Amino acid sequence: MKYLIAPSILAADFGNLEKDCKMINKSNADWFHIDIMDGVFVPNISFGMPVLASINKYATKPLDVHLMIVDPDRYIKTFSDLNAEILTVHFEVCNHLHRSIQEIKNNGMKAGVALNPHTPVNVLDSIIDEIDLVCIMSVNPGFGGQKFIKNTFAKISELKKLIELKKSSAIIEIDGGVTDQNAKELIKAGADVLVAGSFIFKSISPLDTISNLKSITN
């Protein structure tokens, strides 16, 4: 089964980002997952443009940027200039989601939409064929290291059905609380991309942990 692993930089060593970026470059990981938080949409502030520019200086793999901010439309061009390949906005903050998605694509990026744990999949019924990636939040956004919410499995199945019904090419990303304990089941349920922060960076060998996640379905 083919699936992607996206280590979340939120759990990296901010005192030595160069080292952790180079570790991801060398690893079997596929993308860099980058969490941008504004302290308004979520009760935490992560980092902003200068840090993303540093990551971009070292990263040799696609930047998967997850915006946990209100009014993301204001920054779409900025993130394109910072080399984001995928730009994900939250459903809960977009009054004109169709327009936001078009803007992301017009700026040369793939468009992602993230759903909070309480947001049902069916809110995407009328827009799924425009979306490149749906990020199902398997924790409440804002912090790394939280406990995986089990209802995620039901949401993956439902989303998978919707994607097939509408013949959408959207892929499914799971973000939050991913470990070797749930990775296999998530892939089996239909996940295409697994984001993992603490599980990778708090492990003794992040390189080995990434390899293990990447081969967990074997």
Element (H, E) at 99: helix 97-106
6 SS3 class? strand
Neighbour tally for 79: CB within 10 Å: 22
DSSP 133-163: EEEEESS-TT-SSPPPPTTHHHHHHHHHHHH
Site string for Zn ion, 65-104 (x = CB under 5 A): -x--------------------------------------
Compute and round to an integer the Cα radius of gyration of the chain: 16
Interface of this chain with ligand DX5, residues 122 to 151, rule: CB under 6 A: 139, 141-142, 144-146
- Binding footprint of ligand DX5, residue count (CB under 6 A): 21
- Binding footprint of Zn ion, residue count (CB under 5 A): 3
Interface of this chain with Zn ion, residues 150 to 209, rule: CB under 5 A: 175
CA distance 132 to 88: 10
Q: Which of Zn ion, ligand DX5, none does residue 80 bind to, with CB < 5 to 8 Å depending on kind?
A: none
Query: 87 with 110: CB under 8 angstroms?
Result: yes
Q: Which of Zn ion, ligand DX5, none does residue 10 bind to, with CB < 5 to 8 Å depending on kind?
A: ligand DX5
Shortest reach from residue 108's CB to ligand DX5, in Å:
23
Nearer to ligand DX5, 20 or 175 (CB): 175
For tokens 């504004």, name the residue.
38
CA distance 198 to 178: 9
Active site residues: 35, 175
Interface of this chain with ligand DX5, residues 12 to 71, rule: CB under 6 A: 33, 35, 66
Residues that bind Zn ion (CB under 5 A): 35, 66, 175
Residues that bind ligand DX5 (CB under 6 A): 8, 10-11, 33, 35, 66, 139, 141-142, 144-146, 175-178, 195-199
